[in-house]
Amino acid sequence: MTRTANREHFRSARPIWPKDRERDKNITAGFRGLVTTHRDAGLTLHIAASTLYRCYMNGKFIGHGPARGPHGHYRVDVWDLSEYANEGDNLVAIEVAGYNINSYYVLDQPSFLQAEVRAGEETLLATGAEDGFEAILLKERVQKVQRFSFQRTFVEAYSLQSGYDRWRFDESAPFNRIACVDTAAKTLIPRGVPLAEFTERYPLAVYARGEVIRRKSQGAYWRDRSLTGVGPQYGGYEMNDLAFILSDELADLQIRSQRVVQQPHTQEDSLLLATREFEILDMGINRTGFIGGTVRCSCKTLLYVTFDEVLREDDVDHLRFGCVNALRYELEPGTYRLESFEPYTLRYMKWIAAEGECDLSGIYVREYANAEAGKARFQSGDERLNAIFEAGRETFRQNAVDLFMDCPSRERAGWLCDSFFMGRAAFSLTGQTKVEQAFFENYLLPDHFPHLPDGMLPMCYPADHNDGVFIPNWSLWFVIELEEYLERSGDRQLIEAMQPRIMELFDYFERFKNEDGLLESLESWVFLEWSKANEFVQDVNYPSNMLYAAALAAAGRLYRLPRLLQEAETVHETIRGQSYDGSFFIDNAVRQDDQLVLTRNRSEICQYYAFYFGTANPGSHPELWNTLLTRFGPSRKRINDYPDVHEANAFIGNYLRLELLARYGYARQAVDESADYLLYMAERTGTLWENDGDYASCNHGFASHVVHSLIRDVLGIYQIDPIAQTLTLRFCDLEISFCKGVLPLGDGAVRLEWTKANGRVEYRFDAPPGYKVKVENLTGLPLYGKMDESAIFYTSEEE
């Protein structure tokens, strides 16, 4: 958690950038250098950069980065080059894109590269050294283009000639060197998270092929805020300055004919596109990474690649949810090995030869994913659950490379609330908390957060919030997650370091307390979930106050502050007295003539907030609980019960519901409803979605929480305390014949398998040495088990 001196990360390298260009928007610089060494010399590349880089050795892809850090801090990646090295000379090449615009994705900070290659303790090549890396401005990437989305930076468009990339693998290739200067010294911190996985994945099928014609759009062009909102507060290039508007060009391409063929496709297959022909390829499931392939052109060609997670009327709608999901290549005759610089998310990609013709081969997506997420195992006698688990794993691995993201597509942003759910999934899938620690560290290190009120935490971070927008109640999820993080990690040092920031947060909320001690008229964007409930957030929003009470209690326990615990209970009691109308909790009250007046607004998510955060429980509100238990859930749309209680959505109401069912002993119902809520998502994209429809992100980080639920409620590894080294197994009453699984835990693993047959449940269990194990049997059947002798075993009755 402490800032580290540069010397700890670099022995010789200094931060550099082409002179007078470190604030230029959307420029790419190339750096290369030759190292001469033995193959077994233990070569490593140490690198920090702004904004993003990718690196090569002898033309072979090494990696992409850096891991993102907070304002004024830069994480240092270390890559092992040994397996890519030749005996003798080796060419190391690095591309760095400097974006210099505000976003939710990467920070608006001046461009630089600081890198060195070492052989053991010896530095062979370094930026800033007299004979170090040499630099070039790479002008093939078109600079003045529109943004990819409101939340991310620029689209990718290229004007290429054959051999454009020779500088990366051929020392004799032409290289128009440019002078670099030292930039300001950087505060460097360790990467902190495992390096990513870069597996190449290939399309499984040609979905469709056809022809397009070019004509002027029959309607108005798409005009997103990412296009029209550029100005002093929102970075980018204004429309009049753009070299072209990619989204307009694609709108002018209309399908003339199309055949859905669903023809198998292999890595060796090639596609020949004549002028104005296209093919749609199917990756099988959603993948996130860099789109690549080999393109051969016999004449000048304009090639587009569009992509998305789902299809609309058998076609790729690259604007489906507010992103320009497209690449643009102007290609002179020749052969090109193309690969996007940015990672994207897609199941389907559409290659269009708008002008000219080309041959495509070896098309792939080079994944950019969490490399640790494959360690856990889950298999049950219910194939629905197996499919959902794998979809949850895929969702996690694509959203947890260097921090916990909401989605790997539209935003790639580290959102609060999503992180609460992902922290649980991370521990279940990887057995460690490294990504979560880095996520919290990013919030800890900055002296302040620009453009936000004192004490407030950004709704997503690292990000630039120049417009001053924040979600005040989202900061409360941060506190609740922090308490669970301590239980997973035992990292009391971070908890103590975070205390001033948490106390400043509660100081911020003091100004919004009304005469009843409730938060009233919260500013900026008050958000509960993607449902009608978001319209009922003023003046006193009771779900936000339920969350506030839970955060007060979490902080009270974390920092041993009884006054916060007492205030939390007082807030709960006040909400019970004001909000509950005898049937449901009301969402909000409004201020009229200086009096607080209850509305009649009632939402499903409000009820779940009440039970989840402790304002209510089945004992205190049995009739409401029974109503939620029996009349709500995935069948509600069909039955249309209680139409005046507005429906919840996937983010986050449906997940809170599943958690409540499990918490109060309805595991069988939770399992069945999980399948109803999620199976169709797993079947369509292999990932889990932001909403219950496919109109937004179909790969959303919070939804990976289901892997935690399945491991807990189906497999039966109910609770792990790695600090106290205690573990609870809980076998629930389920209509499933067997289940088996593995959870990584530190350097070891927890293994459990059970079968139900002949009127009894038999299980086998292994735990790391020294763990004390408690077993709870809720099946109603006799339980027989075997376990590793290194674990200490006792039943719930023997506790």
One domain for residues 386 and 435: yes
Residues 25, 171, single domain; the answer is: yes
- Say yes or no: 74 and 211 in one domain: no
Assigned domain for 352 exists: yes
End position of a domain, from candidates 692, 715, 738: 715
Domain's final residue, options 319, 344, 370? 370
CB neighbour burial string for 70-101, b if at least 16 within 10 angstroms, e if fewer: bbebbbbbebebeebbeeeebbbbbbbbbbbb
Which two three-digit tokens encode residue 343?
A: 């990672």
Opening angle at CA 315, ends 309 and 317, nearest 5:
55
Residue 788: the pLDDT is: 60
Is 696 inside any structural domain?
Answer: yes
pLDDT along the chain (799 residues), means of 10: 61 97 98 90 95 97 98 98 93 98 98 96 95 96 98 98 96 92 97 98 98 86 96 97 97 95 95 97 98 98 98 98 97 98 98 98 98 97 98 98 98 98 98 97 97 98 98 98 97 98 98 98 98 98 98 98 98 98 98 96 98 98 97 87 95 98 98 98 98 97 98 97 95 97 94 96 94 95 79 41
* Same domain assignment for residues 745 and 764: yes
CATH of the domain at 416: 1.50.10.10
Which residue's entry shows tokens 């990976």? Answer: 704
- Which pLDDT does position 5 carry in this prediction? 46
Q: Let me know whether 699 and 763 are in one domain.
A: no
357 and 422 share one domain: no
Model pLDDT, residue 1? 42
pTM: 0.96
Q: What is the dihedral of CA 341, 346, 352, 358, to 10 degrees?
A: 60
Q: Which residues, in sequence order, are CB contacts of 268 under 8 Å at separation 6+? A: none
For residues 242-278, one letter each, b for 16 or more C-beta atoms within 10 angstroms of the residue's C-beta and e for the rest, the string is beebbbbbbbebeeeebeeeeeebeeebebebeebbb
Burial of residue 788, with CB atoms counted within 10 A of its CB: 0-12 exposed, 13-18 middle, 19 or more buried = middle
The predicted structure's pLDDT at residue 85: 93
In terms of domains, do 405 and 462 share one?
Answer: yes
Residue 508 belongs to a domain: yes
**Helix crossing, 655-663 with 604-612: angle to 10°?**
40
Query: Which of 453, 547, 437, 456 lies closest to 495 in space, CA to CA?
Result: 437
State the total domains in the chain.
4
Structural domain boundaries enclosing 316:
200-215+252-370
* Structural domain contains residue 340: yes
Burial of 213 from C-beta contacts in 10 A (0-12 / 13-18 / 19+)? exposed
Residues 384 and 449 in one domain: yes
Tell me the two tokens of residue 663.
């918490």
Same domain, 666 and 730: no
Same domain for 51 and 124? Answer: yes
Q: Rounded CA gap, 445 and 190, in Å?
A: 13
- CA 307 remoteness from chain centre: 19
